[in-house]
Amino acid sequence: MTTYIGTATSRADGYAKVTGAAKYAGEFDATALAHASVVASTIAKGRIARIDANEALSVRGVISVLTHQNRPRMASDDSAYKDDVAPKGSPFRPLYDDQIWFSGQPVALVVAEEAEIARFAASLVRVDYNQQAHVTHLYRQRETAFALESPTDPSQNPFAPPRPRGAAEPALAAAEMRHSGEYYVPIQHHNPMELYASTVIFESGGKLKIYDKTQGVQNVQRYVCSVLGMESDDVRVLSPYVGGAFGSGLRPQYEVVLAALAARALKRSVRLVLTRRQMYGLGYRPAMIQQIELGANASGTLDAITHEAITVTSQYEDFHRQETGWSGLLYKCANARYAHKLARLDLPTSCDMRAPSAATAVYALECAMDELAVALKLDPIELRLRCYSDRDQHSDRPYSSKSLRDCYRQGAEAFGWDQRNSEPRSMRDGAELVGWGMATGIWEALQVPITVRIVLTANGHAEVSCATSDIGTGTYTIMAQVAADMLGLPIENITIQLGDSTLPQSPVEGGSWIAASVSNGIATTSKAVREELLRLAQQMPNSPLAHATPAEVMLADGKLVSKRDGSRAVSIAEAMQHGGVERINQERSTTFEHAGPHAHNTHSAIFAEVKVDEQIGVIRVTRVVSAVAAGRILNTKTASSQIMGGVVWGIGMALHEETLIDHKFGRIMNANIAEYHVPVNADVQDVKVIFVDEPDDAINPLGIKGLGEIGIVGVASAIANAVYHATGKRVRDLPITVDKLQR
Amino acid sequence: MNRFSYVRVASVAEAVREIASAPPARFIAGGTNLVDLMKYNVERPERVIDITRLPLTAIEETGEGGLRIGALVTNTEAAYDPRIESRYPLLSSAILAGASPQLRNAASVGGNLLQRTRCYYFYDVATLCNKREPGSGCPAIDGINRIHAILGASPHCIATHPSDMCVALAALEAVVRVTGPQGERNIPFQDFHRLPGGMPEIDTNLARDEIITYIDLPSKGFAQNYTYLKLRDRLSYAFALVSVAAALEMDGEQIKEARLALGGVAHKPWRDIAAEALLRGREPSAKNFAAVASKVLADAKGYGSNDFKIDLARRAIVRALSQAAARTPQSQTDKRIT
């Protein structure tokens, strides 16, 4: 029975958000709340020689200045700092010692009675350093980058490059057509609207109630406990609303440790809000140098792919994803070889950012495929159809569903692709050259173990809870939709609890895995609720459901109903009244078998139109069509918004985004959203989102795949390919700015 | 942001008295740039003088066929004033090419003249900057200088002036009226902003104890043949890589008078009167326009990442003059270049 699933239900939290009623981490209040401000390092590498906080401490209203020298005790072992999603290495420890790892690293924390006083006093803290030579330039570390080994057992490092398939080099040598290219994507930052913040409420007995900006309250809770040596019951982390995070909030960030440290040192509540510039000292999408070589048959089938990548990480951790594997997955190709190197720079550790690895790797692959199509004189869609893969070639399994062909067809139709003249510079609109480009997108359809609790009361209201987060994606809304359908109740009767570490277990919200996981968790727990109701209903005298089995009944319109005979029904209220229970409380955990018979992925086809002023080189993205195959769509409204957001970000990735580092200072210079360019309204014109049908009863009972990431994958390549089609120029390093078109 | 005292003044005379008296003070009107700079600790005034109540909020006829714009008129009010729209559409267009509606609603016309450069190093006190800390050095010269000056720079500073409005005011030969302890004086727009030379810390020729009261627009508004063409890294809400204010007075098929000012290329709105003179009595043609561009850019110098601006400016000058001649001014809403 689906009344809500698949509809364009408006956001449950929309009203609270637009009226300002929704409170974010930095907006919670407490009695005697103190305010903290970070002093950040101005050098990229070295040691702190001396910190002089006297002037800061002399400011009226300043309570304390914490440094590595006077902070409360913190754990000394690396393992204490390893959060749920930490990469290999030795995690960064804020205010731990005198070591400077990157410019912008917190070196002191000023706590004051007011935020403005703290901020002012922070500017008065004098820090002297013993500076050491730093490197922040990826190309300068190209030679010293170290290779990631591919273990025989992929579970040893699931993000290492896949083992090679066939023999790529001989196949390349024998190929009738070859294309090779080097592609570059610079460092990019997440720039969520909401600033990173923690409000730590110091409660009686020294317990901490922490409002933190995060994508994983339980991850932060465990991290704070282990770093500060606290008992699990003494720390509660909440994050009811998150103003965007995009991966930057998967790992606990330093604001939460610093605020908690200060609260414990002062035995009072403390709030810390980072500045926009300080947020550039958190994670970032690693810059990536990629070399792709494709070998093809003249008829347009791929014989060989090699994909080599160098990505950026810090001096202390090895963050990477399986960037190169996408190439051997997306297209049918018997011979594939991958190589991935990490370059260490004096920067913070890179991290996940919207479609980590795929956004960058598929950009390069899809530009390379476009270049191959040009060389083969094939329509780019036709080339992709000839290389279409019905199996996951890494694991040699069929897909549970893959409607990418429909994406190509429906996307092309909506875009009007058949009107394209394949010749570059052949299409015009007045002074502008018109370019049409396309690309494919791919992402995973992962599911994670999760626990959902449902408390149903006799008046037909249900509270559904899980410690997941809603990072702005619509989790509150889809959870309510699924619960309303599964429990047969009006959506108004459903209350969702999330973003609280005391709720039933959830991993971090990321990777597009929460929608499918939590929805199926709700379905599983609802089944337990239904069974309990049936048990109660069957205890009633002359129960109309006396002989029904759990599989034979469903919940609809506030009643337990026989599927075979709709007249046989018992209302929830009746069943519970007769059973003498006021509430039914069920909690179930669900797990998933990723090594099952099928592989699961989402796909998309993106079509972009650009208009480029021939004389000046100004690029406008006038149209984008994104056709997405992502299983069953839970909510067409929030899903469209997700994809549209991904397209907008893809426009930014193609044309605007770049973190600028001055390598002399080892310092990010455009650390604000005036100078770090993301698309503004004028840059976003006609964006059309299509969801193609993709029934999938093998992935999970509800057929859900999730679509947080897929929206961005491939967009930058579709635009880059369109720019080539318009101008005849291949710009292989992003962003494509006016100066690069002039070269 | 440092601690500062705050005072609100009721008259121009009082404002001048306040600014002239120690300690270091700044006027605040819209605050759209000053407050940011204070938050970054770049500006550290000990005293902030609120001038928003001064009676400088009107746009009036000058009696000589021009308009007098009060320094506290907002950017939005100026841009949408029907007299400015009809008689000085170049000015209206340039204002609308800048910032965002929210910023234009807050920003004053006088403050627009006094906004500081957007050089990354100027904004970051963890780095060096001759404009911020005289004598400390200019890391932009061999650093990140994609947005920096190609004309009139010095070995001490290659920053640019960020205003769009000022580029149009330079082309229109506006006059800045200021009041100081000695009374009023007029500063021709061309002389208002200065080149960095050896003292990049000084942006303008406004004395420390003077206040801008009005901007006077001469009668000639070039309302027929004009354009403001702004090129930037996204289609709105970004500072100009290169912008061009072009205005022509036509006499039949011939150009009687040409005005040309560039933004985003120098420490001040860049006008080249000798280059403008090349067009006098000439026909509007690509060849003639290219000759003007060559003249304007004859001494242009890049610093690496901004080398492309020289060629971009050349193309932009030709295009802007063509737009002005064809009476197809650049729309500030449709981002397509006409």
For A431-489, what is each residue's pLDDT tens digit?
999 999 999 999 999 999 999 999 999 999 999 999 999 999 999 999 999 999 999 99
Query: Which residues touch A594 (CB under 8 Å, ≥6 apart)?
Result: A446, A447
Query: Which residues touch A539 (CB under 8 Å, ≥6 apart)?
Result: A578, A579
Residue A582's CB: how many other CB atoms inside 10 A?
Answer: 11
Which stretches within A112-198 are classed as H helix? 115-122, 168-174
Q: Which amino acid is at A120?
A: F
Tokens for B135?
């004598």
Distance CA B73, CA B63 (A): 19
Distance CA A349, CA A312 (A): 8
Distance from CA of B120 to the nearest CA of A (A): 6
Q: Mutual orientation of helices A358-376 and A636-655 as an angle, nearest 10°?
A: 70
Which residues of chain B are within 8 Å of residue A123 when distances are taken between CB atoms?
1-2, 41
Cβ atoms B215, B177 nearer than 8 A: yes
β-pairing verdict for A302-313 and A333-344: parallel
- Cβ distance B319 to A616 less than 8 Å, yes or no, reads yes
Best CA proximity match to A607, nearest among A355, A734, A425, A439: A439
Helix/strand/coil for A344: strand
Q: Which CATH architecture has domain A144-187+285-446+597-741?
A: 2-Layer Sandwich (3.30)
Which residues of chain B are within 8 Å of residue A683 when distances are taken between CB atoms?
234-236
A677/B contact by beta carbon, under 8 A? yes
Predicted pLDDT of residue A592: 85
Q: How many residues does chain B have?
A: 338
Distance CA B88, CA B110 (A): 18
Q: Mutual orientation of helices A514-539 and A475-487 as an angle, nearest 10°?
A: 30
Predicted pLDDT of residue A576: 96
Among A123, A674, A742, select the one facing B308 at the smallest CB separation: A742
Among B118, B237, B319, select the one facing A680 at the smallest CB separation: B237
Among A613, A667, A683, select the one facing B234 at the smallest CB separation: A683
Is a pLDDT exceeding 80 seen at residue A2?
A: no
Tokens for B115?
């906004």
Q: Which CATH architecture has domain B225-326?
A: 2-Layer Sandwich (3.30)
Closest B-chain CA to A665: B127
Q: Residue A39 belongs to what H/E stretch?
A: strand A34-40
Among A616, A667, A677, select the one facing B315 at the smallest CB separation: A616
Residue A54's CB: how many other CB atoms inside 10 A?
Answer: 11
DSSP string, A12-32: TTHHHHHHT-SPPGGG---TT
Distance from CA of A419 to the nearest CA of B (A): 23
Query: Which residues touch B234 (CB under 8 Å, ≥6 apart)?
Result: A655, A656, A677, A679, A680, A682, A683
Residue range A140-172, pLDDT digits in tens: 999 999 999 888 887 888 899 999 999 999 999
Closest A-chain CA to B237: A680
Among B1, B126, B237, select the one facing A120 at the smallest CB separation: B1
Distance from CA of A94 to the nearest CA of B (A): 20
Which pTM does this prediction carry? Answer: 0.97
Distance from CA of A259 to the nearest CA of B (A): 21
- Cβ distance B120 to A670 less than 8 Å, yes or no, reads yes
Cβ atoms B134, B156 nearer than 8 A: no
Among A664, A680, A738, select the one facing B312 at the smallest CB separation: A738
The phi, psi pair for A164, rounded to 5°, reads: -65, 155
Which residues of chain B are within 8 Å of residue A680 when distances are taken between CB atoms?
234-237
Average pLDDT over residues A634-652: 97
Average pLDDT over residues A88-99: 98
Among A615, A660, A671, select the one facing B319 at the smallest CB separation: A615
Residues pairing with A704 in the sheet: A631
Best CA proximity match to A683, nearest among A736, A638, A740, A639: A736
Mean pLDDT, chain A, whole residue set: 97
Q: Residue A309 belongs to what H/E stretch?
A: strand A302-313
Which residues of chain B are within 8 Å of residue A677 when distances are taken between CB atoms?
233-234, 238
Predicted pLDDT of residue A154: 78
Helix/strand/coil for A160: coil
Which residues of chain B are within 8 Å of residue A670 when distances are taken between CB atoms?
120
Average pLDDT over residues B211-226: 98
Distance CA A616, CA B241 (A): 12
Residue in the block written with tokens 């998309």? A604
Residue range A259-303, pLDDT digits in tens: 999 999 999 999 999 999 999 999 999 999 999 999 999 999 999
What sign does the dihedral B314-B316-B317-B323 (CA atoms) show? positive
Q: Does the fold of domain A448-590 match that of domain A144-187+285-446+597-741?
A: yes
In degrees, rounded to 5, the angle at the alpha carbon of residue A153 between the alpha carbons of residues A149 and A159 is 55
Residue in the block written with tokens 């039933």? A504
Which residues of chain B are within 8 Å of residue A273 when distances are taken between CB atoms?
none
Q: Where in chain B is the domain with CATH 3.30.43.10?
A: 5-53
Which residues of chain A are within 8 Å of residue B243 when distances are taken between CB atoms?
none
Angstrom distances, CA of residue A545 to CA of A570, A574, A638: 8, 13, 38
Task: Assign domain A18-22+32-133+190-279 to its CATH superfamily.
Answer: Aldehyde oxidase/xanthine dehydrogenase, a/b hammerhead (3.90.1170.50)
Q: What is the CA radius of gyration of chain A?
A: 27
Q: Which amino acid is at A409?
A: R
Residue B220's CB: how many other CB atoms inside 10 A?
Answer: 16
Surface-to-core class of residue A421, CB atoms within 10 Å of its CB (0-12 exposed, 13-18 middle, 19+ buried): exposed
CATH for the B5-53 domain, from 3.50.50.60, 3.30.499.10, 3.30.43.10, 3.90.550.10: 3.30.43.10
- Cβ distance A665 to B233 less than 8 Å, yes or no, reads no
CATH for the A448-590 domain, from 3.40.50.300, 3.30.365.10, 3.40.50.720, 3.30.200.20: 3.30.365.10
Closest B-chain CA to A670: B120
Q: How many residues does chain A have?
A: 743
Helix/strand/coil for A293: strand
Average pLDDT over residues A394-398: 95
Half-sphere exposure at residue B187, Cβ-oriented, CA atoms within 13 angstroms: 23
Predicted pLDDT of residue A1: 58
Which residues of chain A are within 8 Å of residue B335 when distances are taken between CB atoms?
618, 620, 682
Biggest alpha carbon distance in chain A? 86
Average pLDDT over residues A504-527: 96
Surface-to-core class of residue A475, CB atoms within 10 Å of its CB (0-12 exposed, 13-18 middle, 19+ buried): buried
Best CA proximity match to A623, nearest among A606, A639, A636, A638: A606
The phi, psi pair for B246, rounded to 5°, reads: -125, 140
- Cβ distance B315 to A103 less than 8 Å, yes or no, reads no
Cβ atoms A732, A743 nearer than 8 A: no
Closest A-chain CA to B306: A739
A527/B contact by beta carbon, under 8 A? no
Closest A-chain CA to B2: A120
Helix/strand/coil for A59: coil
Cβ atoms A348, A281 nearer than 8 A: yes
Best CA proximity match to A604, nearest among A696, A454, A705: A705
Helix/strand/coil for A234: helix
Q: Which residues of A343-369 are buried (b: 16+ CB within 10 A; e: fewer)?
A: bbbbbbbbbbbbbbbbbbbbbbbbbbb
The phi, psi pair for B34, rounded to 5°, reads: -60, -45
Best CA proximity match to B265, nearest among B291, B244, B236: B244
- Cβ distance A616 to B127 less than 8 Å, yes or no, reads no
What residues of A act catalytically?
709
Q: How confident is the model at residue A212 (pLDDT cuts 50, 70, 90)?
A: very high
Distance CA A631, CA A611 (A): 33
Predicted pLDDT of residue A593: 77
Distance from CA of residue B104 to its chain's centroid? Answer: 14
Which residues of chain B are within 8 Å of residue A662 when distances are taken between CB atoms?
120-121, 127, 139, 143-144
Residue range B40-50, pLDDT digits in tens: 999 999 999 99
- Cβ distance A123 to B316 less than 8 Å, yes or no, reads no
Residues pairing with B178 in the sheet: B185, B212
A320/B contact by beta carbon, under 8 A? no
DSSP B232: -
Among A431, A615, A664, select the one facing B143 at the smallest CB separation: A664
Closest A-chain CA to B125: A42
Best CA proximity match to A303, nearest among A237, A376, A230: A376
Closest B-chain CA to A681: B236
What sign does the dihedral A388-A392-A398-A399 (CA atoms) show? negative
Among A120, A674, A682, select the one facing B235 at the smallest CB separation: A682
Distance from CA of A104 to the nearest CA of B (A): 10
Chain B residues touching chain A at CB-CB below 8 Å: 1-3, 41, 118, 120-121, 124, 126-127, 139, 142-144, 146, 231, 233-238, 241, 308, 311-312, 315-316, 318-319, 335-338
- Cβ distance B127 to A680 less than 8 Å, yes or no, reads no
Distance from CA of A677 to the nearest CA of B (A): 7
Q: Residue A425 belongs to what H/E stretch?
A: none
Identify each DSSP E strand in chain B by its residue range.
Answer: 5-8, 25-28, 47-50, 59-61, 67-70, 175-180, 183-188, 211-217, 225-231, 242-251, 254-263, 270-271
Q: Mutual orientation of helices A254-266 and A217-228 as an angle, nearest 10°?
A: 50
A738/B contact by beta carbon, under 8 A? yes
Q: Which residues of B252-288 are buried (b: 16+ CB within 10 A; e: fewer)?
A: eeebebbbbbbbbbbbbbbbbeebbebbeebebeeeb
Mean pLDDT, chain B, whole residue set: 97
Q: Which residues of A107-120 are buried (b: 16+ CB within 10 A; e: fewer)?
A: bbbbbbeebebbbb
Query: Which residues touch B133 (CB under 8 Å, ≥6 apart)?
Result: none
Distance from CA of A738 to the nearest CA of B (A): 7
Total CB pairs under 8 A between chain A and B = 95
- Cβ distance A738 to B233 less than 8 Å, yes or no, reads yes
Give the domain ranges of chain A.
Answer: 18-22+32-133+190-279, 144-187+285-446+597-741, 448-590
